[in-house]
Amino acid sequence: MHRYRTHRCGELTKSHVASTARLSGWVHRKRDHGQLLFIDLRDHTGLTQIVLQPEQPFFAEAEALKLESVVTVTGKVVARTAETINPDLPTGEIELVAGALEIDSVADTLPLQVNAERDYPEETRLTYRFLDLRREKMQRQIRLRSAITSSIRRRMTDLGFTEIQTPILTASSPEGARDFLVPSRLHPGRFYALPQAPQQYKQLLMMSGFDRYFQIAPCFRDEDARADRSPGEFYQLDLEMAFATQEDVFAAVEPVMHGIFEEFSDWAVTPMPFPHIAYKDAIRRFGTDKPDLRNPIEMQDVSEAFRDSGFKIFAGILAKNPKHAVWAIPAPKGGSRAFCDRMNAWAQGEGQPGLGYIFFKDGEGSGPLAKNIGPERTAMIREQLGLEDGDAVFFVAGDPASFYKFAGSARDKVGHDLDLVEKDVYRFCWIVDFPMFEWDEEAKAVGFSHNPFSMPQGGMEALETKDPLEILAYQYDIVCNGVELSSGAIRNHRPDIMEKAFAIAGYDKQILEERFGGMWRALHYGAPPHGGIAPGLDRIVMLLAKTENLREVIAFPMNQQAQELLLGAPAPVTEKQLNELHLQLSLTAREKLKAEAAPRTAEPAADELRANLLS
RNA sequence: GGGGGUGUAGCUCAGUCGGUUAGAGCGCUGGCCUGUCACGCCAGAGGCCGCGGGUUCGAGUCCCGUCACUCCCGCCA
């Protein structure tokens, strides 16, 4: 008989009755009747009820067992009587009558309960992550992540993609987010950077003739956290294809995404092909480049209804600048003064002057705004938006470039508050035709708006003849339920076009050679046209697990302050380590205090242990 | 860097208008219980009310500061 187990805790059924079995696992719950003790024994497969009788020599020891202790039980599998069958448990028709009990490991009093589905503060959960992970929900979510990852690998391999690892210690790149830097011991004063994405390497692989590459790639960016953005590190399904057009990339990725979402959820998924929405249309219709298409509301430009109207504020705004506009956010079934006033109060809380509105009842428009512009213009708006009695409409005026974000969040709020958002469905779309360049207000100059290696639409001719801010790129995002899952592009494989594009963004050829040396060289020795994309794995799993927080689908996440509470990262290092790396710290008194205060870990002893290991 | 929320027993939370000895559930300790499965019953221990200062006869409660966690803004080619 195996030292620890002949079966798993979720395995025994009526067919095993009368056989001898050995189970190992955690004490999930105890029910002590004095002269009879039940223990629910748990492992990754489920629960089995163990029955312990008082004549057994280990009975007292078993009674004293703390929850979450680890034990090995050997005994006879017995059928339960009809009255004692537990229909809620897969193993509920049998129980194991203990003949021997071995205590493998005892547990202290628990800081969080494993056997209860209740919420604990993040800090407690992360400090005791090993306990948190034992809970059923976390087991389910981490296993879901594993299954999704396997499925992605299989699908990509079936499509002829080759999985290739790329370096973790690489070079800092001048564009993008803040880098994590790793000081070099052998090269004083020089630093490696952790990759923000394997962008250049995957393009080099295309130039190396691998045709189709993919990787479940770790990416590192030193940004502040959000609920849907881990601090520091995350994973992407990174892929790249040679001799591919934008449509080829869509045709490869769409079935993978669609297939994954069909495989791991019973919610409806947007049928293929996913709709394509141009960036500027997404902004105009939804106020964001990552629209939640479950929300049916679409905004419209209603400037003409307000131009030279009796509503002097909007008329004035429109007269001031030809770029200015008035956008309407329809609110079906939102036609009550209470709702409109609530929206107005919300807008003021968002730092807006307010939110103009009209609501429709008894065949006409109500509210101060309708009075100001008169019945004809009110009817025009109603006509354009197809509104009926009982509906409302909100207005935002000014320069769309500055108000579209607010308009987008107003659309979100109307959709949610009026319960218009579709349920139990994944709504996908592609956002295409991103601008190649954008105006950097801080630098007062033109810069790359997304990926500097994207191919401008129209190629060299566009760069030479068009206003840079008008040029579009072969740059695209895939969006699901308002979550940006990935962005990608057809790359610029022509050194002459790249030189010109970088010149427009203010980088001269020398920078290109210095900072992108490897790729710049490779482009001169036969580079295939290529492109790719990189869907974020954490966000895919988060959507499929139906949670709102990335930390729910990461085994050992950092907290919002980018600290890992189990091992205590980031941690101070010794003088010796600093010296080897040719580093000196330059900290203010206040920063020194903070640096010396060791991060909290689960066991105070861990801090001591770490100090010993480091010295 | 900025704004919001939270901080009370091991854990989750309640705590009224500032007023006597700060409560509940789970967990923990002791006792009882041979069919429970969120077992039940009885008893008990456990509190720097995050920390510092202030107002007050009196502060968990009000004010100021500070720290921690969390959500958001900035940031995220």
Q: What is the ipTM of this complex?
A: 0.85
The predicted pLDDT at position A610 comes to 39
CA atoms within 13 A on the CB side of A263: 18
The predicted pLDDT at position A506 comes to 86
Strand A70-79 to A20-32 pairing: antiparallel
Among all strands, which nt has the closest C1' to A80 (CA)?
Answer: B35
The predicted-structure confidence for A224-248, as pLDDT tens digits, reads as follows 888 788 888 999 999 999 999 999 9
The pTM assigned to this predicted structure is 0.91
Residue A607 pLDDT exceeds 60: no
Amino acid letter for position A378: T
Cα(A393)–Cα(A370) distance, rounded to whole angstroms?
Answer: 11
Give the confidence band of A603 by pLDDT, cuts at 50, 70, 90: very low
Give the confidence band of A600 by pLDDT, cuts at 50, 70, 90: very low
In angstroms, how far is B63 C1' from A351 CA?
27
Residue A139 corresponds to which tokens in the numbers above?
Answer: 């087991």
Reported in sequence order, the residue ranges of A410-557 that DSSP labels E, i.e. its strands, are 425-426, 428-432, 437-440, 445-448, 475-480, 483-490, 530-533
Among all strands, which nt has the closest C1' to A176 (CA)?
Answer: B77
In angstroms, how far is B71 C1' from A227 CA?
8
Beta bridge partners, A397, equal: A326
The predicted pLDDT at position A596 comes to 63
Q: Find the farthest-apart pair of alpha carbons in chain A and give their distance in angstroms, rounded.
A: 95
Amino acid letter for position A168: I
In angstroms, how far is B70 C1' from A590 CA?
24
Residue A606 pLDDT exceeds 60: no
Contact A42, A9 (CB under 8 A): yes
- Tokens 């479940």 sit at which residue? A216
Question: If residue A373 lies in a helix (H) or strand (E), which one and from where to where?
Answer: helix A368-385
Average pLDDT over residues A323-344: 89
Cα(A342)–Cα(A349) distance, rounded to whole angstroms?
Answer: 11
> A367: closest CA among A341, A333, A346?
A341
Bigger pLDDT: A400 vs A244: A244
In angstroms, how far is B27 C1' from A270 CA?
47
Average pLDDT over residues A86-98: 95
Beta bridge partners, A217, equal: A236
In angstroms, how far is B71 C1' from A429 CA?
28
Residue A306 pLDDT exceeds 80: yes
Average pLDDT over residues A4-16: 96
Positive/negative CA dihedral, A545, A550, A554, A556? negative
Among all strands, which nt has the closest C1' to A55 (CA)?
Answer: B34
Residue A599 pLDDT exceeds 50: no
The predicted pLDDT at position A336 comes to 86
Cα(A260)–Cα(A240) distance, rounded to whole angstroms?
Answer: 19
A5-19, A180-194, A334-348, A491-505: lowest mean pLDDT where? A334-348
Among all strands, which nt has the closest C1' to A224 (CA)?
Answer: B75
Among all strands, which nt has the closest C1' to A112 (CA)?
Answer: B11
Residue A592 pLDDT exceeds 70: no
Average pLDDT over residues A397-406: 87
In angstroms, how far is B25 C1' from A164 CA?
53
The angle, 0 to 180 degrees and rounded to 10, between the axes of the packed helices A246-264 and A136-158 is 140
Average pLDDT over residues A265-278: 95
Give the confidence band of A45 by pLDDT, cuts at 50, 70, 90: very high
Average pLDDT, chain A: 89
Q: Which nucleotides of B are covered by protein (CB under 7 A)?
A: 1, 10-13, 26-30, 32-40, 68-77
The predicted pLDDT at position A601 comes to 45
Bigger pLDDT: A330 vs A507: A330
Contact A230, A554 (CB under 8 A): yes
The predicted pLDDT at position A98 comes to 96
Amino acid letter for position A194: L
Give the confidence band of A594 by pLDDT, cuts at 50, 70, 90: low
> A313: closest CA among A396, A379, A425, A436?
A396
The predicted-structure confidence for A519-550, as pLDDT tens digits, reads as follows 899 999 999 999 999 999 999 999 999 887 88
Backbone dihedral region for residue A18 (phi beyond 0: left; psi -120 to 50: alpha; all else: beta): left
> A334: closest CA among A389, A375, A412, A381?
A389
Among all strands, which nt has the closest C1' to A85 (CA)?
Answer: B37
Residue A609 pLDDT exceeds 50: no
- Tokens 């709020």 sit at which residue? A413
CA atoms within 13 A on the CB side of A40: 17
Give the confidence band of A472 by pLDDT, cuts at 50, 70, 90: very high
> A335: closest CA among A410, A409, A387?
A387
Residue A149 pLDDT exceeds 70: yes
Average pLDDT over residues A169-198: 90
Give the confidence band of A615 by pLDDT, cuts at 50, 70, 90: very low
Average pLDDT over residues A124-128: 84
Cα(A48)–Cα(A471) distance, rounded to whole angstroms?
Answer: 65
First vs last C-alpha separation in chain A: 46
In angstroms, how far is B9 C1' from A24 CA?
34
Cα(A534)–Cα(A536) distance, rounded to whole angstroms?
Answer: 6
Beta bridge partners, A487, equal: A477
